[in-house]
Structures are given as C-alpha cells and as structure tokens.
C-alpha cells in the first residue's frame, strides 16, 4: 500500500479514535498558502473538546507483510519546518473563524502504527506536541 493510501487510512483511524475519546470534529484537511512560502500548510483534523480547539497532525506508518516497522516513529516526521507550518496554518484557521489567538488551542500529533497482517492499529496521542 502506498504512502498516500496509508495516510488516508491513518486519518480514518484518527477520526474514529477522536470520536471515541469525546472530541467533536470541526474540520478536516484545512489548507492555507503561507505568505512568502511556495508550499501550503495543511492540518489534517481540527477538533474541539470541552472549551479547547485541537489542531491534529496525523502521521501513520504501516508494517509491510513480513517486515518490521521502520526504526523511525511516525511523529519523527514532524520536523521544525513542519511545526512552523502547523502553527501558521492553525492561526490562519482561527483568524478565518474569527476566534482569538488567546483562546484555548493546541497542536497535537496522532502517531498511528498500522499492522496489516494482524489488522490492528496502535494510536499514540501526543498532546500539545507543537508550540
């Protein structure tokens, strides 16, 4: 399975996980062209729990049949550059929705390891992982 399909599956798993944990999904795949940057920023899932808005970056890795997982964890792919993009994109969403930057919000990472052989997934929720 290609990385795009693994990512899509990871986002589906993340959505189920968040709903089970009592999160309300507000938006998915929000993108924003960052001024002065040729690339765009994207946030996979925007959710709310209690009075806090949570911007969620989903990183999924899959185990191929007969192979071990990579030595790198999915969250290792959220480097400094990606973190800066996530912050600017989150601020863009808040601005677009006319929500103060001083409101309660954070950026979390959901790291998902998918084991196709056993049809299981392990989810690690890293709260307030980007600041």
Per-residue pLDDT of 29-38, as tens digits, reads 999 887 777 7
Residue-wise pLDDT for 86-113, tens only, equals 999 999 999 999 999 899 999 999 999 9
Residue owning tokens 């480097």: 79
C-alpha–C-alpha distance, residues 43 and 30, integer Å: 5
84: left (phi over 0), alpha (psi -120 to 50) or beta: alpha
Longest dimension (CA), the chain: 50
| 7, two tokens | 């990512």
pTM over 0.85: yes
**Rg of the chain's alpha carbons, rounded to an integer?**
15
3-130: CATH, from 3.40.50.2300, 1.10.10.10, 3.40.50.720, 3.40.1350.10? 3.40.1350.10
Hey, where are the domains in the chain?
3-130
36 or 26: whose pLDDT is higher? 26
């Amino acid at each position: 399975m290609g990385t795009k399909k693994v990512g899509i599956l990871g986002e589906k798993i993340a959505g189920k996980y968040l709903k089970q944990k009592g999160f309300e999904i507000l938006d998915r795949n929000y993108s924003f062209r960052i001024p002065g940057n040729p690339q765009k920023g994207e946030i996979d899932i925007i959710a709310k729990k209690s009075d806090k808005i949570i911007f969620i970056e989903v990183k999924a890795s899959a185990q191929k049949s007969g192979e071990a997982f990579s030595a790198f964890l999915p969250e290792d792919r959220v480097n400094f550059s990606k973190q800066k993009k996530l912050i600017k994109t989150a601020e863009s969403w808040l601005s677009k929705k006319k929500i103060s930057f001083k409101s309660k919000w954070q950026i979390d990472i959901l790291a998902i390891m998918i084991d196709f052989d056993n049809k299981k997934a392990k989810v690690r929720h890293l709260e307030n992982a980007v600041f």
